[in-house]
Structure 1
């Protein structure tokens, strides 16, 4: 690596340079700057029950005394009270659970402690911290999928402080509880770190895994104290209680010191206006009458305004007009034969913004060039790879070799690759990372000066977690939120009070979800027969009803001693809802394993012909074998990117609750959703031009879930000024914006939800907009939307109306993953639809 010498600058000077960089634009990209002053800490004496050896170990690490919140939470835990500590990033939550846990191990040579984290990286980081303390006879060890099999037996027999994750507890430790009997019999504390991440279906599964742990521990005679750590969140005590099934006391007042933080909201500038030569109005067919995209089902075969589960924007998403010009045979032929349509006119295309990925890469390059240690959070794995690649190229063009100090970091990397990157960042060999939220959680990244957040991460809790990665050594920090061309991001950068003036969300989880409860009861029964007392543990009446249904189905069998699992093997239950085992990405020519992709993403990321990015290197997929879980790829640097296209259908199963508001109906209930990836587009990287659309033959996926939907009578829409021919475009636009704004209300992001709209749905017999949870049985997001419909739809209406575009753009009503290619859309009429709904709905 070439040695490059430069002088590092502070966060304040970096923001000044970034502002200067954007000063050439007509409008400053910075829409708001929030300055949070430094805060002094409030220390407390070491609790009287602290073992001298444990206290001295912390003092040797430079911790002279705990902060008040650390001492308060640790004392509650030591006294046997289940406690959750919900304070800010870098507030020292680790000490609050390490102090009672290590004391228990020091006082009782037989005691054990179990630590659970949502990620392997966090568990590995915690292990390093415990090892540094050097307390005698603790014998800490990680036990996860990366632990070599030859080491697992030693961990089971000798480790006293085991660091693992809910997946390993579910798949290995609880099914094999007999082998873990000694450890469980001596279990004193269970630490649940970053518990705010256990939300939706994943959180509901983890809630039952923890109940199964309590059941197994009781079987061997122990009743451990639970200590939970969380980012600041709404109702931490209630959420923690639902998670563990026990009353939990919350400690929320943060007494730790904090350096000054400057938080900037950044909206990428509009690109220069461009024009497209089109036939004159007298000869050009309307957009709605253009032929459908080749290789996709025709519009007549689909609901009139079909839409799909939404995903974050792609860096090279092309504007709609470019999609039509590049894929429609009529327009293409006009380019070669002007007489085909008669006179041509130059039409100015709708303005589009510079992509957030490109903007983030440029800002990251500026930060590295200034010597500022920076972490860029990017929403998708592909996005993290793209940002790292663009940053390296820009730096190498300026200073050859400097690009080597930037890397990507994401899930799916092999263990050795992840650990090498972590070490290089901590040592200073790397100056910057472009990472997914894999580094959002409490990994101690001391020395970072700035954080760039490429796109709102979905919740305010995640936003502050990511921003808190900077300044962890107590110094001044800079955080910049770079808005994607997306309704929610656009809304937030122009409504800073929605970011800085509101508390973080309460975590949504529902252990009574039948799609979670039934499989988890099967898991529990396979570990030991279920008793009546167990049914109370797992939910009371809901658990009893689920057991009756499972018994009728033959999954369980009733005996005098309880309900028994009837099958030989263990139940196959996926906690994270990824759809099974990951798909291995293998290089065809060498057989080398590059990484893995979860099954839920494989149809989109690894279909035949897809471009797959890995550590800055492009590969093209030769074959996707879903049965064997393998994608074969070869290295190639094409000048195009790939974008999967899918279609969705929805039918109503039942209505759980509804509001009759005259011409408007608001509903919450169960729906069936079918989805299939049917084709993919190849788009020119340099221009976004659609090269072609190629068909795919992938299986249909079926989902029974919960949805919120509203209906509007045709007469009410006509009275509002929406003509029947414009119903599809108006509802379609309202649906896109509603999905984009729902994360403002619920603890979800666009990956968690999907939607569909139609001018006349077969089940409702009316114009209808659906928004549904993207998880079997629902995840609580649609229910939250139903209960706060007025707030949600008001924010949606404001976001559409406030956008400066004329006909709709990605900042308000366009979606990069729309199955109908964002056609039809009617921005103005979407506002009329929402006005009609909001006027009719009663205040909440």
Structure 2
């Protein structure tokens, strides 16, 4: 047993709590797994083997040797094993052997985050192989270092953004590198899902096209967390046939995993609903207890704002005990400046920080070792991400660390902590991506044409002529592309790359600047700016509190001043939805239909509420911000008036005045539970409900993807409509609150302030609709 074994740490954080109403809902001890070694691959040179041995790798595990052999033989391969299973050695063996062979071979490494890429290039440098000239090329790399990399580096470490904005459009500058490209490593490839994954899939096709232009045909090596059908997902991502390696030969220590539901607060929230202690606040208390024990701990929190609040809360608790301990707590999140990130990463690596509250920026970040505990404050959206975060604990394979999943007060988290089988007995999800999405494909066709003329034969890589040609015709009509007998040629003076939003963040960044000093605090996504840094919003940065004075979307700047108000802010939003095209429609009778199609969602932040931490509303402040229009995909179902108002068995028996609140509550709960059936997070999707929709002529509940063109989530929801709505009804009925609360039907992102909501009405609607849906199609 380790000095900080999970059982002992769990008892410590439970000390003093009321056992009769304690927060624990389930404790699971995941078993240890022995290691299985293999011989060093025969192709690996003595120099490479000695370097890896000296770094602490006495012999490869079976999956490392298998993947390395496949890649060296020219097979594209994906390794899908658990956190801390040494996936990096799977590509280090073939890549390092190639780079030290005396030839001119080069390799490219792609990571979804800068932190991960920076950590990997450090690890390669520490191997001391003089023939390996590794270089980081990302947005933080000075121009002089980029010039050196273009002329001399044989292993580039970068990210999709840099590949898109710099390397591919300026491929002539990198001709030496692309001409000799032998291996492409795509690390943490499970992160490429949804809209981001669809963009990266097309980016990889453009990379392959550029490599072929210079005569190269690289082998792709992909590393993934444990995922369903990793070979299929990797093939969709790369457009190639990929062999999967899934048998994990690495050791894993036993792990204590606790499911934790925070207690109810003494005060009630909106509309008198019971409110549980916030997951971030609970995580702060637990984090402080663990730091007192000397346990190295990461607390994953769902949002940037939440990570800041959790770190502040833990510091405050520890400050009352020992200020030296308070100094061992920090927050880490995206949006920090490069030098701030590097400093925190160094402190983490050295152990001078004991507790860190972080967003998922460290889920895929630096190689943190020796952690005693991980807190997951709020379900991260997918099981793959949950186990990736949990796997940060006990990375040596010898300790028995502690993992605590702290539920947020929302339907999905509440369901999971009371249904542990949905975590421990359910397979991880398969990746969802759709590179044929015209909103994604069109801009990438423009980029591909600007990089190299696009021939008709080349359309096969971009969905084929039937999919790509209509989009190229649009580009031709816009006079951006010129069609010729031999193909399509870029004709505009401006390159199209700057118009592509790879991460689906809403187009560009808004700089957050302290008005008095001109200090740049960080950035926020332009798409979320109206709701997060609107005038009057409270903004947190590295423990400091600011209030926004002004937001200029055209100039891309939000001016703030330092202030620590007693209130928090919540945006108010109005949303409308219009059906553009019904792709699939199923009629079930009683006015119940289920549909999948394209919709246009119009939203506008019209004001914000100032609230006390208790939830009490101080006032509502109006705002004048522009409308945002989103064309995307949605799943929806309609309910006939007779079924809604019928008091007979099988009917919902609702008075007309209750119908809007019933549908609204059913919509909220369905959004909360969709991540069980689609590889998404509730923040990836949205919804609208109405007692009479103009396009359907019936009461209708819509759930839509939150990204242009859709990201596949609505499609998954449509395919699993009956089990999805059945689970939604079960979650609502299991909640003990009398009239609706955040654990069942209230939503933290509701633009209408959770009004109106009718919990019992939602159960009545779903109870009436589900038997009709189960009866089939009429």
Under a length normalisation based on structure 1, what TM-score does the superposition of the two structures give? 0.89
Alignment partner, residue 386 of structure 2: 463
Alignment partner, residue 530 of structure 1: 454
1:774 aligns with 2:706: yes
Query: Given that residues 456 and 486 in structure 2 are in contact (C-alpha distance below 8 angstroms), is that contact kept between their aligned partners in structure 1?
Result: no
Counterpart among 568, 574, 578 of residue 501 in structure 2? 574
Which residues of 2 match residues 461-540 of structure 1 at below 5 A? 461-474=384-397, 475-540=399-464
Counterpart among 150, 157, 178 of residue 184 in structure 1? 178
Query: Given that residues 345 and 366 in structure 2 are in contact (C-alpha distance below 8 angstroms), is that contact kept between their aligned partners in structure 1?
Result: no
Which residues of 2 match residues 538-549 of structure 1 at below 5 A? 538-540=462-464, 541-549=466-474
Alignment partner, residue 76 of structure 2: 82
Alignment partner, residue 704 of structure 1: 631
Query: Given that residues 269 and 616 in structure 2 are in contact (C-alpha distance below 8 angstroms), is that contact kept between their aligned partners in structure 1?
Result: no
- How far apart, in 2, do the equivalents of 1:375 and 1:643 lie? 28
- How far apart, in 2, do the equivalents of 1:477 and 1:534 lie? 51
1:743 aligns with 2:666: no
Which residues of 2 match residues 593-604 of structure 1 at below 5 A? 593-604=520-531
Shift of 1:144: 0.2
- How far apart, in 2, do the equivalents of 1:358 and 1:539 lie? 47
Alignment partner, residue 725 of structure 1: 657
Counterpart among 755, 758, 763 of residue 826 in structure 1? 758
- How far apart, in 1, do the equivalents of 2:313 and 2:699 lie? 44
Question: Cα–Cα, structure 1 residues 8 and 41, in superposed 2: closer, same or farther, change >3 Å?
Answer: closer
- How far apart, in 1, do the equivalents of 2:169 and 2:381 lie? 34
Per-residue CA deviations over 1:701-747 (Å, capped at 9, x if unaligned) read 10000000000101112221222221111111100000000011101
Counterpart among 16, 38, 42 of residue 11 in structure 2? 16
Query: Given that residues 115 and 365 in structure 2 are in contact (C-alpha distance below 8 angstroms), is that contact kept between their aligned partners in structure 1?
Result: no
Shift of 1:108: 4.0
- How far apart, in 1, do the equivalents of 2:422 and 2:775 lie? 21
Alignment partner, residue 812 of structure 1: 744
Query: Given that residues 573 and 752 in structure 2 are in contact (C-alpha distance below 8 angstroms), is that contact kept between their aligned partners in structure 1?
Result: no
Shift of 1:201: 1.0
Which residues of 2 match residues 250-399 of structure 1 at below 5 A? 250-272=244-266, 274=267, 319-321=269-271, 349-399=272-322
Per-residue CA deviations over 1:156-179 (Å, capped at 9, x if unaligned) read 111111000011001100000111
- How far apart, in 2, do the equivalents of 1:798 and 1:712 lie? 19
Alignment partner, residue 425 of structure 1: 348
Shift of 1:800: 0.5
Alignment partner, residue 164 of structure 1: 158
- How far apart, in 2, do the equivalents of 1:646 and 1:150 lie? 46
Shift of 1:25: 5.4
Higher relative contact order (CA 8 A, sep 6+): 1
- How far apart, in 1, do the equivalents of 2:760 and 2:430 lie? 34
Alignment partner, residue 631 of structure 1: 558
Question: Cα–Cα, structure 1 residues 86 and 442, in superposed 2: closer, same or farther, change >3 Å?
Answer: farther
Shift of 1:271: 2.1
Shift of 1:754: 0.2
Alignment partner, residue 336 of structure 1: none
Shift of 1:843: 7.0
Alignment partner, residue 411 of structure 1: 334
Alignment partner, residue 284 of structure 1: none
Query: Given that residues 722 and 773 in structure 2 are in contact (C-alpha distance below 8 angstroms), is that contact kept between their aligned partners in structure 1?
Result: yes
1:613 aligns with 2:540: yes
Counterpart among 476, 484, 500 of residue 559 in structure 1? 484
Say what the alpha-carbon RMSD is for the aligned residues.
Answer: 1.4
Name the SS for the 1:115 alignment partner. strand
Shift of 1:208: 0.6
Alignment partner, residue 666 of structure 1: 594
Per-residue CA deviations over 1:504-557 (Å, capped at 9, x if unaligned) read 000100010010111100000011111012101111131233223333443321
- How far apart, in 2, do the equivalents of 1:168 and 1:843 lie? 51
- How far apart, in 2, do the equivalents of 1:21 and 1:266 lie? 16
Query: Given that residues 790 and 843 in structure 1 are in contact (C-alpha distance below 8 angstroms), is that contact kept between their aligned partners in structure 2?
Result: no
- Structure 2 gaps of 5+ residues are none
Name the SS for the 2:276 alignment partner. coil
- Structure 1 gaps of 5+ residues are 1-6, 275-317, 322-348
- How far apart, in 2, do the equivalents of 1:394 and 1:843 lie? 56
- How far apart, in 2, do the equivalents of 1:199 and 1:843 lie? 34
Query: Given that residues 571 and 751 in structure 2 are in contact (C-alpha distance below 8 angstroms), is that contact kept between their aligned partners in structure 1?
Result: no
Per-residue CA deviations over 1:72-106 (Å, capped at 9, x if unaligned) read 01110000000000011111100001111111111
Aligned residues: 765
Name the SS for the 1:693 alignment partner. strand
Alignment partner, residue 584 of structure 2: 657
Shift of 1:441: 1.2
Counterpart among 231, 236, 253 of residue 230 in structure 2? 236
Shift of 1:819: 2.4
Name the SS for the 2:579 alignment partner. strand
